[in-house]
Amino acid sequence: MTSARETVFIVGAGASAEFGFPVGSGLAENIKKTLQGTVQYTKVEAYGYRYTGIEHWLKRLSDSKKFEVWEVERAVNLIVTGMPYTPSIDVFVNNHNEDRAVAAVAKIAIAYEILRNERGEGLSTGSVMRLTSLVDRKEFAQTQVRNTWLGQLWQLIVSAGKKRDVEALLGRIGFVVFNYDRSIEQFFYYTLMHYFNLQPDEARRMFRQLDIIHMYGQAGRFKPIEDGLAECCDYGEPNPEKLPSRVDEQLVTFSEARSEEINTQARATEMIRQAKVLTFLGFQFYEQNMALLFDDTLPKDDRARRAYGTCFGMAEPLASVVRYDLMEKKYITSIEPITAHELIRSYGQAMFR
């Protein structure tokens, strides 16, 4: 969709944490554990070893002749060694930006961990909502969504009125997503289908009223919406042999985003420029990410623009700097030390005025 989006949600890792996804150092630790368990290909191929899981993906790198086996193994060892000393896997890749093998292995490891978390592996039991439960209608009816930001947002959306009013409102909402997971797609597609009792084609049509931009790519294109493309896979796809052959090429770390994602950045910047309301959810306000959203061009008119956001866990001096920077960009600002679902519950109605 290309129409102007009045309300735009900028979604960071803290928002996906509500669905059990690790953030920063947590993802780095998971990647270390996963890569530590991989085998050395040269020592087992002669014995007919059948690769499974992430090993299947890593073997593709050497089979495709992009890298020699020893290059893949060296990159695996380097990443495992460095994970305890980096704030995130993205920072590590940026530190090694001239090493193509490190970038390729890191992105495969990211995609593997994202898909594991999409299907609920490694998540604690209890209140964490597993979005895979939305597929089945019976499970959908039992899923607890109220304490998630997507659940809170959905209740605001359906309060718009009849189905046609809901569809119109979807056409005024945009998402700029800095996460690799497809939680937003999974939630809206299946919630539209079950809530309104829609057939897949009709659910896809309503879903496409939304505009969702993944700034750094995603762990495979969302199959229910884009089925037929080679890059597609289901949310939480469990079979490594069904995964996109170029899954690593669909992810972009922030060091690569400077040069490779110009079109994506232009779309996001234009969406931000046209929006009346920005809502930052679980977003860390890193300087580089802010630079991807805002160029040097201020809004062309004098409309009152508002910015809401979470700064949960952020030191107050830093939160004050964030508020000041947004006010400098001509936004009336409410940045609060609360979680994503608490922000929408508290300020949601104001976001759509």
pLDDT per position as a tens digit, 90-108: 889 989 988 999 999 999 8
Task: Answer with the residue of higher pLDDT: 57 or 112.
Answer: 112
Interhelix angle 25-36/69-82, nearest 10 degrees: 140
What is the DSSP track for 19-48? Answer: GT---THHHHHHHHHHHHT---HHHHGGGT
Q: How confident is the model at residue 303 (pLDDT cuts 50, 70, 90)?
A: low
Does pLDDT of 246 surpass 70? no
Ramachandran assignment for 98, one of left (phi > 0), alpha (psi -120 to 50 degrees), beta (any other)? alpha
Task: Answer with the residue of higher pLDDT: 159 or 229.
Answer: 159
User: Where do the domains of the chain lie?
Assistant: 7-20+125-217+252-351, 25-118
Q: Which range has the worst mean pLDDT, 88-102, 243-257, 272-286?
A: 243-257
Place of tokens 């944490």: 17
- What are the DSSP E strand ranges found in the chain? 7-11, 173-177, 211-214, 221-222, 232-233, 277-281, 305-310, 331-336
Contact (Cβ atoms closer than 8 angstroms) between residue 233 and residue 243: yes
Contact (Cβ atoms closer than 8 angstroms) between residue 308 and residue 351: yes
Structure tokens at 163: 């189905």
Segment 283-299 shows an average pLDDT of: 82
Mean of pLDDT over the chain: 84
pLDDT of res. 127: 47
Of the ranges 10-24, 60-74, 131-145, the best mean pLDDT one: 10-24
Does pLDDT of 49 surpass 80? no
> How far is residue 281's CA from residue 12's CA, in Å, rounded to a whole number?
6
Contact (Cβ atoms closer than 8 angstroms) between residue 115 and residue 181: no
The H or E element containing residue 11 is strand 7-11
pLDDT of res. 42: 47
- pTM, two decimals, is 0.89
Q: Nearest CA to 264 among 213, 210, 226?
A: 213
Residue 134 dihedral angles phi and psi, to the nearest 5°: -75, -20
Residues 181-196 pLDDT 10s:
999 999 999 999 999 9
Does pLDDT of 242 surpass 80? no
Task: Answer with the residue of higher pLDDT: 299 or 121.
Answer: 121
Helix (H, G, I), strand (E, B) or coil at 158: helix
Helix (H, G, I), strand (E, B) or coil at 289: helix
pLDDT of res. 1: 46
CATH 3.40.50 fits 7-20+125-217+252-351, yes or no: yes
Task: Answer with the residue of higher pLDDT: 274 or 61.
Answer: 274
Q: How confident is the model at residue 128 (pLDDT cuts 50, 70, 90)?
A: low
Q: Nearest CA to 195 among 223, 229, 163, 235?
A: 163
Does pLDDT of 125 surpass 70? no
Does pLDDT of 268 surpass 80? yes
| 44 contact partners, CB below 8 Å, separation of at least 6 | none
Kindly list the distances between the CA atom of residue 311 and the CA atoms of 13, 65, 108, 145, 318, in Å, as whole numbers in the listed order. 12, 45, 30, 22, 9
Structure tokens at 201: 């084609």
Segment 41-64 shows an average pLDDT of: 65
> How far is residue 149's CA from residue 161's CA, in Å, rounded to a whole number?
20
Segment 239-244 shows an average pLDDT of: 64
Residue 344 CA to its chain's centroid (Å): 18
Percent of the chain with pLDDT over 70: 83
Kindly list the distances between the CA atom of residue 200 and the CA atoms of 115, 196, 214, in Å, as whole numbers in the listed order. 23, 11, 23
Segment 163-176 shows an average pLDDT of: 96
Task: Answer with the residue of higher pLDDT: 65 or 225.
Answer: 225
